[in-house]
Amino acid sequence: MAQGVTIAGTGSYLPEKILTNDDLSKFVETSDEWIVTRTGIKERRIAGEGESTSHLGSKAGQKALEQAGIAAEDLDLIIVATITPDTLTPATACYVQQQLGATKAVAFDISAACSGFLYAMKIAKRMIESGAFHNALIIGAEKRSASVNWEDRPTCVLFGDGAGAAVLRASKEGEGRILATDIGTDGKQTHLLNIPGGGSACPITINNAGEGLATLAMLGKEVFKHAVTRMKNSANFVIERAGLEPDDIAIVIPHQANLRIIDAIASRLAVPNDRVFVNLHKYGNTSAAAIAIALDEAHREGKMKRGDNVVMVAFGAGLTWAAAAIEW
Per-residue pLDDT of the chain (328 residues; tens, 9 = 90+): 457 999 999 999 999 999 999 999 999 999 999 999 999 999 999 999 999 999 999 999 999 999 999 999 999 999 999 999 999 999 999 999 999 999 999 999 999 999 999 999 999 999 999 999 999 999 999 999 998 888 888 889 999 999 999 999 999 988 999 999 999 999 999 999 999 989 999 999 999 988 888 888 888 889 999 999 999 999 999 999 999 999 999 999 999 999 999 999 999 999 999 999 999 999 999 999 999 999 999 999 999 999 999 999 999 999 999 999 999 9
What integer pLDDT is reported at residue 247 of this predicted model? 94
5-175 adopts what CATH topology? Peroxisomal Thiolase; Chain A, domain 1 (3.40.47)
Distance CA(6)–CA(87), nearest Å, equals 31
The secondary structure of the chain in percent helix, strand, coil, rounded to multiples of 5, reads: 40, 25, 35
What integer pLDDT is reported at residue 2 of this predicted model? 55
CATH of domain 178-327: 3.40.47.10
What integer pLDDT is reported at residue 153 of this predicted model? 85
What integer pLDDT is reported at residue 216 of this predicted model? 84
DSSP 201: S
Q: Is 309 a catalytic residue?
A: no
What integer pLDDT is reported at residue 1 of this predicted model? 45
Four-CA torsion 276, 282, 288, 293, nearest 10 degrees: -70
What integer pLDDT is reported at residue 218 of this predicted model? 87
Q: Is 114 a catalytic residue?
A: yes
pTM: 0.96
Distance CA(96)–CA(120), nearest Å, equals 15
What integer pLDDT is reported at residue 150 of this predicted model? 87
* Angle, helix 92-100 to helix 53-68, in steps of 10 degrees: 50
The answer to whether 92 and 85 are in contact (CB under 8 A) is yes
Q: Is 285 a catalytic residue?
A: yes
Catalytic residue among 135, 285, 299, 309: 285
What integer pLDDT is reported at residue 212 of this predicted model? 86
Catalytic residue among 255, 258, 299, 309: 255
Catalytic residue among 114, 135, 279, 299: 114
What integer pLDDT is reported at residue 134 of this predicted model? 97
What integer pLDDT is reported at residue 254 of this predicted model? 97
Q: Where in the chain is the domain with CATH 3.40.47.10?
A: 5-175, 178-327
